[in-house]
A = this chain, B = another copy of it.
Amino acid sequence: MTKGVAFRRKTMRDIAREARVSTATVSRVLNGSVPVNPETRKRVEQVVRKHHFVFDSLAGGLATRRSRLIGLIIPTLINSIYAAFAQASQAAAQSQRYTVLLGVSEFSPKQEERLIEQFIAHRVEALILTGADRPARTYQQMRRNQVPFIITWKSTGREDLPSVSFDNRLAAGQAMRFLFERGHRRIGLICGRTEVNDRARERREAYESMLKEHGLSLNPGLVHECDFEFEAGRRAMQKMLSRRAPPTAIFCANDIQAIGALTQCRAAGVRVPEEVSIIGFDDLPISTFVEPQLTTVNVPAAEMGRLAAESVIRHLATGAPLDSIILPTTLVIRSSAGALRSEAK
């Protein structure tokens, strides 16, 4: 592996020497910005190819103050809805010759802050973030360093916090409305941990305010916050079912937990949707491959990822302001939720 002499990659200087031009000309050929005599160009290109010259983005970035790097920070990849989002972002960035730095915060603001600082040190040109919930210090850090950022998965409604998202409240409302319209009143909620997840918080708020709207009081025993794991959803459902008056419907603020809940019903011999309706959130591909098929709220994860990257790149290229986008969500009615049966209440 190690040669006798220290290894040195070819530099533009080497290319320049061999092509008998200056490094400036090599740079011009490579960037194709300024016109270069076709003969010279050809000569340079030949030498570049001959030596498999690879441009040094570190040096280039240092000189131009443009790294062609974008930072993407998500809370987890385990929930495949974020994976779909990340993949779409990466693809969009890639297609514009940007490279993605990936950070997984694991729902920890500390961890996220560390990632952001690290990414800024690497001179990312922009950041794509999940949710808006972070200390003011973190926002200052980005502003101070003039790093544009865009928030995803949560619509901020604030000029100074541009976002590409859907409306979590509205989306959760679609699910809850469905249940109310079908006659359900004793409705449980299973959702993510609201103290570290503002998307879950908004969905929970929608749940609570819809209850209030219908003159129902909040029953804390009907609300379970837990991790994004099938097993957590299952356990939450188990607790709900063991109540003297179990809910007739459950709104799960994500499909992972919904599938956990569904599984528990099956294990407990509780029929879905006859005895209890379950409604999910995300519309994961798996949701049509469980029994019964999951009624859920479709969220445009991939589109959001793509748009976030495109929008931030457009901003970098044109200086156009980063404005917020709100994408629609749709309730996908399948079989896991239905009308309240008389015998259930």
Contacts and interface: CB of A to CB of B under 8 A. Distances in A.
A9 B54 CA distance: 29
Given A101-B99, A102-B86, A69 B289 contact: no
B101 A101 contact: yes
A113 to B, nearest CB: 13
Interface string A75-96: 0111010011011001100100
A291 interface: yes
A180 interface: no
Contacts of A101: 99-102
A121 B55 contact: yes
A266 interface: yes
Nearest to A97: B118
A192 interface: no
Interface string A134-152: 0000000100111000000
Given A72-B102, A86-B102, A99-B101, A141 B58 contact: no
A77 B83 contact: yes
Copies in the complex: 2
A24 interface: no
Nearest to A262: B289
Contact of A67 (B58, B78, B91): B58
Nearest to A61: B58
Interface string A101-119: 1111010000000010111
Interface string A257-293: 0011011001000000000000000000110111100
User: Could you say which of A1, A77, A90, A290 has the most chain B C-beta atoms within 10 Å of its C-beta?
Assistant: A77
A178 interface: no
A229 interface: yes
A80 B86 CA distance: 12
Contact of A56 (B1, B84, B87, B121): B121
A84 B231 CA distance: 17
A34 interface: no
Contact of A121 (B54, B80, B106): B54
Given A67-B58, A229-B285, A259-B289, A99 B119 contact: yes
Given A77-B84, A99-B118, A230 B286 contact: yes
8 contacts: A54-B120, A57-B122, A58-B58, A58-B122, A78-B87, A87-B104, A90-B104, A230-B289
A-B pairs with the 3 shortest C-beta distances?
A: A102-B102, A77-B83, A83-B83
